[in-house]
């Protein structure tokens, strides 16, 4: 695309440019047998385009020794491009004439363009680049308002809007026999899955209908990455049994391996297993399975999103009629079919576009700085331009000369910026990979290059146009009589530019400060436990050995005893899902104090299973009743502890709930023996929800998190715990130890990253604006020395001069600060959904930021202003 | 019309177009030149020269039909105009007359 654009501009004929690209593609195909990449085409097309431009520029000299006036309009246009080309050639000598100016201007533009290019490359990779599947634009997430049962997936399979539709859910399994046991995530998918994705296996096959049948042999398809990692890319693995153990099977037969080019729908997936269908329970419309599947579909050709969404709603209503408690009417309101990419990166859209907005403000500030530099130079240039004009150069020719200089400067800065962006891309890839989907593939592609080109050219026009107009305004020059002094028009231009950059900096800083305060608020929320020096490892007692509950219990009891005895450990506890982690269980229940009215749906609450040492270890206070005890074992009375939110839902005072019986919708019931303070298990943002805690000794789970509080070094205790488990049983998978503080940091990683980026851009903008204000004041003072000297010679005191200079310098800053504050009030509304505990119109921020910038500007202006006040009138006037 | 003599490069480009007959387009002319002259021709130089020769009225060109190869892009076919052929013939004759009696020099190369 860029290659064609280049050639088209250079040749001025689309057809010829097209044919030329064809020739290039033919050459490439004949030498390498492949269609060339866009980058290759650009590399080959650029010198050809340059040759054409050069030829064109020289043509007036080599072929047509006539004046441009005699040329028809069309030819005159060409000769204007030729002029621009020539002037750009001249502009290349600029660095020799004014090296400091060129270095400062190019570096400023490089910062602006570099930041923009880097952020655009992220936007491009995450939001714009299509998903790596065939005709990916037709892939949609079908969302009836809730996740679906197997039977409802079958109902949806009959929908007419979709060429194919599949259900998918998460699966986890442990792979043993390949060194250390590997805990893996995978996809549990229905029969059309690979058809929807249009993905073919590298070896073997994908699932057939028979693989989904009840009682079929357990099979698995491996991801390319797992195949390489665990099986050394051995094609012979197809057909073999592997020890991939999950809750249902200890072994599975590998039937296929996907190619490296197939990206799993969830980047964490390492395998796929077939959803199994029991004809007794699983038939179209059946609600007799867990509703834990999402739907992905490929739109039938010619079917639009609207139609697909409408059909999704219709089927959703059917399901709602059959099972109102599993698909509520309120959920149905959200029923729709959305492009899969939007669904995947929808959350990232706002932060990324805001960052793009922020960097474009940085570029605007950079442009105003360069414009100020150019304005200052313009004073020196007048004489040169006057000479050229006297020698016969038309006004238009001079305008082209200035435009050419701006473009050359912009492109040079842009090229440097591109290098900056390229250098920073590795950092961004590392920082974003865990937080923002799709960023592992971050790179500067053709579209990003085009963006950088457009950004550089736009910047050239932005910073070039005001100075060019000023320089060409001959009238004012004549009025000033060619004296060295800033003209009134120029002063006005300077002041406008200063106001613009201060306003932009205020908007940036307000946004960044709000995010920073929000992050502080977020992380200073009390999580409900003491996170210091806590470390957790996930232990998963898989395998036949632990099928017997007594053996499982014995294993974990021994582990608890041995980890209690570890040096440096003060307490150890277990829980099935870590606070601030990903897993959350919940059940619907009834309580004996409140019989459920007929037709009402049961309330739900979080469900956690813990060891009796959990609350003391984490420092969670018991508010009423008693803690769970080691004597609460299987066979003894079934008990639970609830949190205060749960107790308050049913009673005025929390003590009242102790002694009441709770019954889950599964039929299991237990007595409440105590109330604990709420823990924010799901993260800083949400208040503790009603939760119940059952003892692991009565509700044993195979996989648990072991949490230890260390005396000093949590990290080394984590390693000890891992070693301890493997010492007891080397086949039990243990996930890498994590300190609780790092888990909590991870839960706000996205906010933190966004805040850091926005903060750096705001800081960059503020620094550039500070430099800009300093530059303008310093320049104005130096130009106005004579006026100041006259004034002082006439008796003006130094303090007056200082005040006058400062007032003049700071009035555009004040105007900019006010405009910026107004702009920030508008712009911060965009942030409101990302803020926590801070209003987008936070008065403190809206006052402090502009005042801070005023202080910075005053400091920036003070130095040159003091110099102005120290002017020695006699020597200055003598110089004139 | 423009100049009445041909530059050396212009001359060999015209000859290559002539040799390619009905199938003379950018890529094929470049291939012909590479095969016959044993030197690699910069694409830019070739295309600019083709355009210049056409502007001088020595070459004519027309777009061909789109082809499935080359990314579906059509070829631009070149052919010698009457004037081009006359000029080429003239410079060929000049060359040959100059060579006359000195063919042995060629053989020694």
pLDDT tens digits for A568-581?
999 999 999 888 88
Cβ of B27 within 8 Å of Cβ of A16? The answer is no
For A55, which of B27, B48, B63 is closest by C-beta distance?
B48
A584: nearest Cα among A680, A469, A451, A487: A680
Using a CB-CB cut-off of 8 Å, the residues of chain A touching B71 are 21-22, 25, 35
Residue with tokens 């060629």: B106
Alpha-carbon torsion (A827, A829, A832, A836), positive or negative? positive
CB contacts, 8 Å: B69 with chain A: 26, 29
Which residues of chain B are within 8 Å of residue A52 when distances are taken between CB atoms? 44, 47-48, 51
Is residue A308 predicted with pLDDT exceeding 50? Answer: yes
The nearest CA of chain A is from the CA of B106 a distance in Å of 33
Residue A154 CA, chain-centre distance (Å), reads: 36
One-character DSSP codes across A199-212: ---SEE----GGGG
The confidence score (pLDDT) of residue A432 equals 87
Residue B45 touches chain A, beta carbons under 8 Å = yes
Q: Is B69 on the interface with A (CB under 8 A)?
A: yes
Q: What token pair was written down for A800? A: 């007056």
DSSP letter at A280 equals: T
pLDDT at position A332: 82
CA dist A450 → A1, A418, A444, A841 (Å): 9, 11, 10, 37
SS3 (DSSP) at A121: helix
Of B27, B48, B63, nearest to A26 by CB-CB distance is B27
Q: Which of B44, B48, B73 sits opposite A19 (nearest CB)?
A: B73
Nearest Cα to Cα of residue A702 among A813, A589, A553, A581: A553
- Tell me if A55 and B73 make a contact (CB, 8 A cut-off): no
Given an 8 Å threshold on Cβ–Cβ distance, is A18 in contact with B70?
Answer: no
- pLDDT of A764 strictly over 90: yes
Task: Calculate the average pLDDT of chain A.
Answer: 87
pLDDT tens track for B71-101? 788 899 999 999 999 999 998 898 889 888 8
pLDDT band at A476 (very low <50, low <70, confident <90, very high): very low
Higher pLDDT, A285 or A253: A253
Interior CA angle at A192 toward A189 and A196, to 5°?
Answer: 100
Confidence of residue A466 (pLDDT cuts 50, 70, 90): confident
Residues near A258 by beta carbon (within 8 Å), at least 6 away in sequence:
A199, A201, A202, A221, A222, A223, A224, A264, A272
| CB-defined contacts A:B, below 8 A | 68
Q: Does B20 touch chain A (CB under 8 A)?
A: no
Closest CA to A378 of A172, A106, A101, A108: A101
Closest CA in chain A for residue B56: A63
pLDDT band at A478 (very low <50, low <70, confident <90, very high): very low
Q: How near does any CA of chain A get to the CA of B69, in Å? A: 7
Q: What is the pLDDT of residue A61?
A: 59
Whole-number pLDDT of residue A223: 95
Q: Which two tokens stand for residue A721?
A: 């715990």
Give residues with Cβ within 8 angstroms of A177, minimum separation 6: A242, A243
Over residues A823-846, the mean pLDDT reads 90
Quick one: which H or E segment has residue A574?
strand A569-575
Instruction: Identify the pLDDT of residue A60.
Output: 62
pLDDT of A599 > 60? The answer is: yes
- Name the residue of chain A whose CA is nearest to B46's CA: A48
Q: Does B35 touch chain A (CB under 8 A)?
A: no
CA pair distance B80, B108, nearest whole angstrom: 33
Q: A695 with A529: CB under 8 angstroms? A: no
Nearest Cα of chain A lies from the Cα of B95 at a distance, in angstroms, of 26
Please say if the pLDDT value at position B1 is more than 70. Answer: no
pLDDT of residue A66: 44
Cβ contacts of B73 on chain A, cutoff 8 Å: 18-19, 21-22, 25
Say what the pLDDT of residue A233 is: 93
Q: Which helix (H) or strand (E) holds A162?
A: strand A162-175
Q: Does B51 touch chain A (CB under 8 A)?
A: yes
Helix, strand, or coil (residue A174)? strand
- Partner-chain contact A19 B47, CB within 8 Å: no
What pLDDT shows up at residue A685? 84
Please state the ipTM of this predicted complex.
0.88
Which residue in A15, A20, A22 is closest to B47 by CB distance? A20
Give the per-residue pLDDT at A68.
Answer: 45
- Within 8 A of B10 by CB-CB distance, chain A residues are none
Q: Which of A171-185, A442-456, A695-709 has the lowest mean pLDDT?
A: A171-185
- Whether the predicted pLDDT of A162 surpasses 70: yes
Of all residues in chain B, the one with the smallest CA distance to A50 is B44
CB contact under 8 A, B73 and A47: no
Domain boundaries, chain B: 8-67+74-101
How many Å apart are CA A759 and CA A738, to the nearest integer? 28
* Helix H or strand E encompassing A241: strand A241-242
CA distance A671 to A67: 102
Chain A residue at shortest CA distance from B48: A52
User: Tokens for A394?
Assistant: 């038309």
Which pLDDT score, from 0 to 100, does residue A300 have? 92
The answer to whether the Cβ–Cβ distance between A23 and B52 falls below 8 Å is no
Which chain A residues are within 8 Å of B25, Cβ to Cβ? Answer: 19, 23
- Which neighbouring-strand residues pair with A297? A140, A165
- At residue A740, the pLDDT reads 92
Q: Searching chain A, which residue's CA lies closest to the CA of residue B68?
A: A22
Q: How far, in Å, CA of A189 to CA of A171, rounded?
A: 9
Look at B44 and A47 and tell me if their CB atoms are within 8 Å.
Answer: yes
B57 touches chain A (CB under 8 A): no
In the predicted model, what is the mean pLDDT of residues A170-195? 89
Q: Which of A617, A602, A609 is nearest to A640 (CA)?
A: A609
pLDDT band with cut points at 50, 70 and 90 for residue A51: confident
Task: List chain A residues with CB under 8 Å of B2.
Answer: 63
Interval A612-634 mean pLDDT:
93
Tell me which chain B residue has its CA closest to the CA of residue A25: B70
Residue pair A762/A512 in contact by the 8 Å Cβ criterion: yes
Per-residue model confidence as pLDDT tens digits over A357-405: 999 999 999 999 999 888 888 777 777 788 888 887 777 788 888 888 8
Task: Return the CATH fold of B8-67+74-101.
Answer: Arc Repressor Mutant, subunit A (1.10.10)
Mean pLDDT to the nearest integer, A471-489: 54
B75 closest CB neighbour out of A19, A24, A63: A19
Residue A22 C-alpha, separation from nearest chain B C-alpha, in angstroms: 5
Helices (H) then strands (E): counts for chain B: 5, 2
Ordered DSSP codes for A582-625 = S--EEEEEEETTBPPPTTPPPPEEEEEEE-TTHHHHHTPPEEEE
- Name the residue among A366, A348, A498 with its Cα closest to residue A420: A366
Contacts 24+ apart (CB under 8 A), A570-573: A570/A709, A570/A710, A570/A711, A571/A613, A571/A616, A571/A617, A571/A708, A571/A709, A572/A613, A572/A617, A572/A706, A572/A707, A572/A708, A572/A709, A573/A610, A573/A611, A573/A613, A573/A614, A573/A616, A573/A617, A573/A618, A573/A706, A573/A707, A573/A708
Q: At residue A830, does pLDDT exceed 80? A: yes
DSSP three-state, residue A254: strand
Q: Supply the pLDDT for residue A656.
A: 94
Shortest alpha-carbon distance between residue A61 and chain B (Å): 13
User: Residues A317-328: what's their mean pLDDT?
Assistant: 81
The candidate with the shortest Cα–Cα distance to A238, out of A211, A256, A224, A250, is A256
CB of A134 closer than 8 Å to CB of A159: no
**Cβ neighbours of B74 in A, within 8 Å:** 15, 18-19, 22
pLDDT in tens, B34-48: 888 877 788 989 999
- Residue for token pair 């001069």: A801
A26-39 in b/e form (b: 16+ CB < 10 A) is bbbeeeeeeebebe
Q: Could you give the dihedral angle defined by the CA atoms of residues A614, A615, A617 and A618, in that order, rounded to the nearest 10 degrees?
A: 110
B19 and A CB contact within 8 Å: no
As a whole number of angstroms, the distance between CA A194 and CA A134 comes to 12
- Record the tokens describing residue A281, joined without a space: 């329970």
Q: Confirm if A193 and A157 have CB atoms less than 8 A apart.
A: no
Chain B nearest C-alpha distance from A819 (Å): 52
Q: How far, in Å, CA of A742 to CA of A750, rounded?
A: 14
A585 with A576: CB under 8 angstroms?
yes
Pair A512, A673: CB distance under 8 Å: no
Closest CA to A261 of A206, A202, A207, A305: A202
Residue A338 · residue A305 · CB < 8 Å? yes
Q: How would residue B2 be classed by pLDDT, with cut points 50, 70 and 90?
A: very low
C-alpha A133, offset from chain centre = 22
User: Min CA distance, A55 vs chain B (Å)?
Assistant: 7
């Amino acid at each position: 695309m860029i290659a064609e654009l280049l050639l088209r501009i250079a040749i001025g004929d689309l057809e010829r440019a097209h044919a030329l690209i064809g020739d290039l593609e033919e050459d490439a195909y004949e030498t390498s047998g492949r269609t060339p990449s866009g980058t290759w085409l650009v590399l080959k097309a650029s010198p050809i385009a340059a040759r054409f431009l050069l030829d064109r520029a020289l043509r007036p000299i080599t072929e047509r020794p006539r004046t441009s006036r005699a040329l028809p309009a069309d030819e005159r246009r060409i000769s204007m491009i030729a002029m621009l080309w020539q002037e750009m050639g001249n502009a290349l000598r600029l660095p020799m004439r004014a090296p400091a100016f060129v270095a400062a201007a190019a570096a400023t533009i490089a910062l602006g363009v570099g930041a923009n290019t880097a952020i655009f490359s992220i936007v491009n990779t995450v939001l714009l680049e299509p998903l790596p599947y065939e005709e990916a634009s037709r892939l949609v997430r079908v969302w009836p308002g809730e996740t679906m049962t197997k039977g409802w997936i079958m109902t949806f399979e009959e929908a007419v809007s979709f060429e194919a539709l599949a259900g998918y859910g998460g699966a986890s399994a442990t792979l043993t026999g390949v060194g250390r046991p590997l805990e893996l995530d995978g996809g549990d998918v229905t029969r059309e899955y690979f058809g929807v994705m249009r993905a073919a296996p590298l070896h073997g096959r994908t699932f057939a209908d028979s693989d989904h049948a009840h009682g079929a042999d357990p099979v698995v398809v491996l991801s390319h990455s797992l195949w390489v990692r665990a099986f050394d890319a051995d094609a012979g693995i197809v057909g073999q049994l592997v020890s991939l153990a999950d809750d249902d099977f200890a072994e599975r037969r590998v039937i296929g391996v996907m190619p490296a080019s197939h990206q799993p729908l969830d980047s964490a997936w390492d395998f796929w297993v077939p959803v199994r269908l029991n004809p007794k329970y699983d038939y179209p419309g059946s609600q007799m399975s867990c509703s834990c599947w999402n739907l992905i579909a490929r739109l039938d050709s010619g079917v639009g999103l609207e139609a697909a969404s409408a059909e999704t709603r219709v089927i959703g209503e059917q399901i709602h009629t059959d099972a109102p408690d599993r698909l509520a009417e309120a959920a149905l309101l959200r029923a729709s079919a959305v492009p899969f990419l939007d669904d995947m990166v929808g959350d990232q859209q706002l932060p990324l576009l805001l960052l793009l907005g922020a960097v474009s403000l940085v570029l605007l500030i950079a442009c105003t700085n360069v414009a100020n530099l150019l304005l200052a130079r313009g004073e020196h240039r007048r004489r040169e331009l006057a000479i050229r004009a006297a020698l016969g150069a038309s006004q238009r020719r001079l305008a082209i000369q200035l435009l050419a200089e701006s473009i050359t400067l912009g492109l040079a800065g842009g090229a440097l910026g591109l290098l900056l962006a390229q250098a920073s891309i590795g950092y961004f890839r590392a920082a974003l990979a865990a937080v923002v989907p799709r960023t592992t593939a971050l790179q500067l592609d053709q579209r990003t290059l085009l963006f950088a080109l457009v950004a550089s050219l736009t910047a050239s026009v932005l910073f070039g146009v005001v100075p060019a107009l000023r320089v060409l305004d001959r009238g004012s020059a004549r009025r000033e009589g060619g004296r060295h002094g800033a003209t009134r028009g120029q002063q006005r231009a300077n002041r406008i530019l200063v106001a613009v950059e201060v306003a932009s900096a205020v908007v940036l800083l307000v946004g960044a400060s709000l995010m920073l305060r929000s992050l502080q608020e977020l992380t200073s929320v009390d999580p409900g436990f003491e996170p210091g020096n806590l470390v957790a490892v996930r232990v998963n007692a898989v395998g036949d050995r632990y099928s017997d509950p007594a053996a499982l219990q014995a294993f974990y009891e021994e582990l608890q005893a041995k980890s209690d005895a570890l040096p440096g450990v003060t307490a150890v506890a277990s829980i099935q899902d870590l606070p601030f982690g990903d897993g959350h269980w919940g059940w619907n229940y009834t309580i004996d104090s409140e019989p459920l009215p007929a037709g009402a749906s049961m309330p739900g609450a979080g469900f956690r299973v813990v060891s009796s040492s959990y609350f003391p270890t984490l420092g969670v206070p018991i508010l009423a009743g008693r803690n769970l005890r080691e004597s609460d074992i299987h066979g003894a009375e079934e008990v639970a502890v609830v949190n205060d939110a749960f107790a308050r839902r049913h009673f005025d005072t929390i003590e009242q709930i102790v002694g009441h019986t709770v019954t889950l919708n599964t039929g299991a019931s237990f007595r409440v023996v105590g109330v604990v303070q709420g823990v924010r298990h799901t993260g800083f943002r949400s208040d503790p929800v009603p939760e119940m805690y059952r003892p692991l000794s009565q509700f044993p789970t195979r996989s648990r998190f072991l949490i230890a509080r260390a005396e000093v070094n949590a990290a080394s205790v984590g390693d000890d715990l891992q070693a301890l488990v493997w010492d007891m049983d080397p086949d039990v998978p243990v996930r890498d130890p994590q300190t609780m503080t790092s888990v909590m940091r991870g839960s706000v990683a996205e906010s933190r990253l966004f805040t850091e980026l926005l903060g750096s851009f705001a800081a960059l903008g503020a620094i550039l604006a500070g430099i800009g204000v300093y530059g303008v004041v310093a320049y104005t003072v130096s130009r106005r020395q004579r006026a100041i000297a006259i004034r002082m010679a006439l008796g003006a005191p130094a303090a007056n001069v200082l005040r006058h200079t400062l007032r003049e310098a700071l009035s555009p800053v004040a105007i900019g600060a006010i405009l910026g504050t107004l702009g920030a009030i508008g712009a911060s509304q965009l942030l409101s959904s990302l803020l926590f505990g801070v209003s987008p119109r936070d008065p403190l921020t809206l006052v402090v930021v502009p005042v801070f910038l005023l202080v910075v500007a005053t400091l920036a202006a003070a130095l040159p202003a003091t110099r102005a006040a120290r002017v020695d009138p006699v020597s200055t006037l003598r110089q004139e | 019309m423009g100049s009445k003599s041909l530059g050396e490069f212009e001359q060999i480009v015209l000859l290559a177009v002539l040799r390619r007959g009905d199938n003379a387009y950018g890529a094929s002319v470049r291939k012909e030149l590479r095969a016959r002259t044993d030197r690699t021709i910069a694409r830019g130089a070739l295309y600019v020269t083709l355009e210049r020769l056409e502007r001088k009225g020595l070459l004519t060109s027309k777009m061909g039909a789109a082809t499935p190869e080359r990314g579906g892009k059509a070829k631009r076919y070149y052919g010698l105009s009457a004037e081009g052929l006359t000029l080429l013939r003239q410079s060929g004759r000049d060359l040959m007359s100059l060579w006359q009696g000195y063919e042995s020099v060629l053989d020694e190369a």
